[in-house]
Amino acid sequence: MASILELLRTRYACKEFDGRPIDGERLEAILQGARLSPSSFGMEPWRFLVVTDEGLKRELRPLCWNQKQITTCSHLIVIKNQIALVQDEEYIEAIFRRRGLDPEATKAYIQRYKDFIANQDLDCWTQKQCYIAMESILLEARAQGVDSCPIEGFERERVEELLGLDPERERVALLVALGFCAHPRPPKHRLPLHELVTYR
User: Counting Cβ atoms within 10 Å, is residue 5 exposed (0-12), middle (13-18) or buried (19+)?
Assistant: exposed
Binding footprint of ligand FMN, residue count (CB under 6 A) = 11
Return the SS3 of 162: helix
Q: Name the segment binding ligand FMN (CB under 6 A); options: 41-49, 73-81, 111-119, 151-159.
A: 151-159
Cβ atoms of residues 77 and 137 within 8 Å: yes
Min. distance of Cβ 147 from ligand FMN in angstroms?
10
Q: Residue 149 interacts with ligand FMN (CB under 6 A)?
A: yes
- First-residue to last-residue Cα distance in the chain: 35
Q: Residue 188 interacts with ligand FMN (CB under 6 A)?
A: yes
Nearer to ligand FMN, 91 or 131 (CB): 131
DSSP 187: P
Q: Residue 132 interacts with ligand FMN (CB under 6 A)?
A: no
Instruction: Report which residue type is found at 22.
Output: I
Site string for ligand FMN, 40-69 (x = CB under 6 A): ---------------------------x--
Q: Please, what sign has the CA dihedral across residues 139, 164, 124, 94?
A: negative
Residue 7 falls in which region: left (phi positive, over 0), alpha (psi -120 to 50) or beta:
alpha
Min. distance of Cβ 24 from ligand FMN in angstroms?
26
CB-closest chain residue to ligand FMN = 153
Binding ligand FMN (rule: CB under 6 A), the pick from 150, 172, 173, 179 is 150
Nearer to ligand FMN, 86 or 177 (CB): 177
Q: Residue 122 interacts with ligand FMN (CB under 6 A)?
A: no
Q: In angstroms, rounded to a whole number, what is the distance separating the alpha carbons of residues 51 and 140?
A: 18
Query: Which positions lie near ligand FMN, rule CB under 6 A?
Result: 12-13, 15, 67, 149-153, 174, 188
